[in-house]
Structure 1
Amino acid sequence: MKTKLLYHTNSFTYECTATVVAVEGDDIALDATVFYPGGGGQMADRGTITWPGQDYPASVIAMHKRDEVVWHTLDYPPPSIGTEVVGTIDWDFRYQMMRTHTALHILCGVIWQEFGVQVTGGQMYPDRARMDFAMENLDKERIVYIEEKVNAAIEADYPIRVYSLPREKAFAIPDLVRTKINLLPPEIEEIRIVEIVGLDLQADGGTHVNHTHEVGGIHITKTENKGRINKRLEIMLDSLQ
């Protein structure tokens, strides 16, 4: 059993028809889904699942991915196996996550190009995000410089490409994994690549916009010293006009 991950091929897909292939308590598995289940610091999608005979749409209140199956936890008695359903994500929330995730890749790309340091952690929230780097020096001048470089990259409107490569070919690319620890399980044979053409290229499983200009701009709002060689930057996105 395997769920087709529609968000992997097109992050802008916000609705799909699918069939229930398994039920466990309040959890259902579908043969295909537009819902991103969370991971890599990105929050899970929100939204509803509908099918004939409901009193109201079922909200997806939690998600998890087990092996190659995405499970959707509902606040409504689940449909039986074989039922055709329609899944619809909260598009505003998804697009905010897409913009935020791309912003973090730009931040990571800029810091890698300028200082050659690796990522030690990261997390996205509805209104902000943070990323940690194996960096000793993060003085005020450097913070201003990083923010300016990130916003220049956003304004440059680099195109973003998403594609997959066989594991061996992917890992022949220098510096593909920017985290200090390689978090990609050895059983994954196809590696999904997110490339900001001209700036950054990383292995990644999340959702992204198509061009950097869609991010709109960022501000570094907070920094923290998380150790002698570990610094945290917190960013917020500018509102889209």
Structure 2
Amino acid sequence: MAVPGNKTPAGAPEDVARTELFAVDAYLRSFDSTVLEVDREGGRVALARTAFYPQGGGQPYDLGELRWDGGSAQVTRVKREAGRIWHWLDTAEMPSEGTELFGEIDWDRRHLLMRTHTALHILSGVIWSEYRIPVSGGNMDPGKGRLDFPFDSISTDIGRRIERRINEEIERAREVVVDFVERSESDLDPALIRTSANLIPKEIDPLRVIDIVGLDKQADGGTHVASTADVGRVAVTGTESKGKGNKRVRLEVLPG
């Protein structure tokens, strides 16, 4: 177990810790790597290791830059395909396989996504603690996001109460930790079961778990801040019905 950015979490698979740097250190802004494969037709490269987060779990991909001897390019998209993480580049002069390079993520955008993702976990934890209702879906952009819940009904009064409770949890400065949990253990954890970890394919073992200590615990592959205090203030910007038994809560992370 480790606070994001402090050290590699205990139990992290060796291949993940070595190649998927975002999974073990969300605060890593730059890194050295080597080009493993080039898809010139697709305008993309796969790297030996990367700190760029690939789109997944509702969290958008990172943006940034790759630089190498004689060239550089903006990273415009990142996606995992067939076990490899591909980086789309805005250049026709692609680096060759084996090229050593330096990568740097757009930190302002990433940090805002980390704050947003953590805020959504706080929202999930607040709804569970107040109403014992699990999250059923969600999505986010930098600075704003939404979660869906199987409420029978929802109102602006509930929205105001949720906003107050989220900001209370932020002020409590709860520690956010990353852990890797063996599947045999996670399948017995009520917190992980209620957040649908049991729906994740069995071949994913161990599970990467984000724990907002004392509030929320979920299997999750995304990036988060180290404390709820780092989220800053949050506003619930809307509550709406998306049909019977499906209600949506939208939030924004306020500037500052």
TM-score (norm 1): 0.94
Q: Superposition pairs for residues 121-160 of structure 1, below 5 Å?
A: 121-160=137-176
1:69 maps to which residue? 84
Report if the CA contact (8 A) 2:113-2:143 is conserved.
no
Matches within 5 A, 1:9-88: 9-25=24-40, 26-54=43-71, 57-76=72-91, 77-88=93-104
* Whole-angstrom CA distance in 1 between matches of 2:47 and 2:85: 7
Give the C-alpha shift of residue 180 in structure 1. 5.8
Q: Confirm or deny: 8 A CA contact 1:102 1:208 kept in the other structure.
A: yes
Considering fraction of residues, name the structure with more helix: 2
SS at match of 1:148: helix
Question: Cα distance, 1:182 vs. partner?
Answer: 5.0
Question: In 2, distance between residues paired with 1:145 and 1:166?
Answer: 36
User: Cα gap change, 1:81/1:34 in structure 2, threshold over 3 Å: closer, same or farther?
Assistant: same
Are the aligned partners of 1:177 and 1:203 in contact in 2 as well (CA < 8 Å)? no
> Percent of pairs identical after alignment?
42
What is the total number of aligned residue pairs between the two structures?
A: 238
Structure 1 unaligned runs (5+)? Answer: none
In structure 2, C-alpha distance between the alignment counterparts of 1:63 and 1:183, rounded to whole Å:
25
The answer to whether the 8 A contact 2:195-2:219 is kept is no
Unpaired segments of 5 or more residues in structure 2?
1-14
Aligned to 2:20: 5
| Paired amino acid for 1:66 | E
CA, structure 1 residues 46+183, in 2 after alignment: closer, same or farther (shift >3 Å)?
farther
Matches of 2:196 and 2:219, distance apart in 1: 13
C-alpha separation in 2, matches of 1:46 and 1:217? 25
Deviation string for 1:82-120 (max 9, x for gaps)? 111111000000000000000000000010111111212
Tell me the secondary structure at the aligned position of residue 33 of structure 1: coil
Equivalent-residue separation in structure 2 for 1:216 and 1:181 (angstroms): 28
Query: What amino acid is aligned across from residue 16 of structure 1 in structure 2?
Result: F
Q: Is the 8 A contact 2:197 2:218 kept in 1?
A: no
The 10-residue stretch of structure 1 (93-102 or 213-222) with the greater mean CA deviation from structure 2: 213-222
User: For residue 79 of structure 1, what is the amino acid of its counterpart?
Assistant: P
User: How far apart are the structure 2 equivalents of 1:180 and 1:232?
Assistant: 18
Aligned equivalents of 2:211 and 2:195: distance in 1?
A: 16
Check the 8 A contact 1:42/1:206 in 2, yes or no.
yes
Contact 2:116 2:143 in 1 (8 A): no
Distance 1:181 1:194, change over 3 A: closer
2:37–2:47: 8 Å Cα contact kept in structure 1?
Answer: yes
Could you list the per-position Cα deviations for residues 38-65 of structure 1 after superposition, in whole angstroms to 9, with x for gaps in the alignment?
A: 11111100001010011xx301111210
Letter in 2 for 1:101: H
CA distance in 2, matches of 1:120, 1:148: 22
Task: Give 1:163 deviation, angstroms.
Answer: 1.2
Cα distance, 1:177–1:218 mapped onto 2, change above 3 Å: farther
Q: Structure 1 CA distance, aligned partners of 2:104 and 2:255?
A: 24
* Residues 1:45 and 1:177: Cα distance change in structure 2 (over 3 Å): farther
Residue 201 of structure 2 corresponds to residue 185 of structure 1: yes
Compute the TM-score of the two structures, normalised by the length of structure 2: 0.88
